[in-house]
Amino acid sequence: MAKPNVIKKEDLITAAKECLVEKGIEKFTLRAVADVAMVTQGTIYYHFRTKEQLLLEVVKDICDGSWKELSQINEDVISQAIISAKSRCSHDSFFHKLFLTLVVTGFNNDKIREQLGNILMQENEALSKSILKLWTKSPIEGVSIETWGVFLNAIVDGLALQALVSKNCSIENTFEELEQLIIGLDRLTNLGDGK
């Protein structure tokens, strides 16, 4: 009956992610995860002592992934931001659905919230740092370059949220204009330099 050494923790985490996106936190049941991973519930308990633990490891996994991604962003903020935004909204709504689901779950789970809070902060910082390399001064007086990172991050998340909620997305269009916005801001910066 026992088939040792077949399933890895990673597989279970992947299955858990799938369930979270597919069914939402409300119906995120260990039976569902077990079914997707084609294992028994007992197996899940062998690897994670509790449901919450599994959830936490899902969060950790996402954070680690996000961290890896961030550490590779170096220069081209614009394209990077747009790509990231698009990827999260359209062809890969998976990630953003998962992310928002966990954020909301975090409202009532400090451990989760803390971890997610960290990546958001890191994202902000990474964006700010990258922008600093591009812009010598802020395109708009009164808005520090650091804060531009926060705004950019916020706008990407906000658009993602809209995309997830509104099916009929003229979102494609919006993203093009987001690109234009950044180009425009860039230009403003140089303009200021030129003076």
Partner DNA sequence: CATGAATGAGGCTTCATTCAT
Partner DNA sequence: AATGAATGAAGCCTCATTCAT
By the rule CB under 8 A, 132 interacts with a second copy: no
Per-residue mark of binding to a second copy, 60-79 (x: CB under 8 A): --------------------
By the rule CB under 8 A, 31 interacts with a second copy: no
Compute the distance between CA of residue 17 and CA of residue 11 in angstroms, rounded to an integer: 10
Q: Determine contact, residues 130/74, Cβ cutoff 8 Å.
A: yes
Tell the smallest beta-carbon distance from residue 23 to DNA (Å): 8
Tell the smallest beta-carbon distance from residue 53 to DNA (Å): 8
Compute the distance between CA of residue 75 and CA of residue 152 in angstroms, rounded to an integer: 15
Secondary structure, 3-state, 130-188: HHHHHCCCCCCCCCCHHHHHHHHHHHHHHHHHHHHHCCCCCHHHHHHHHHHHHHHHHHH
By the rule CB under 7 A, 102 interacts with DNA: no
Q: Which residues of this protein are in contact with a second copy, per CB under 8 A?
A: 21, 23-27, 97, 100-101, 103-108, 113, 116-117, 120-121, 124, 140-144, 147, 150-151, 153-159, 161-162, 164-167, 173-174, 177-178, 180-181, 183-185, 188
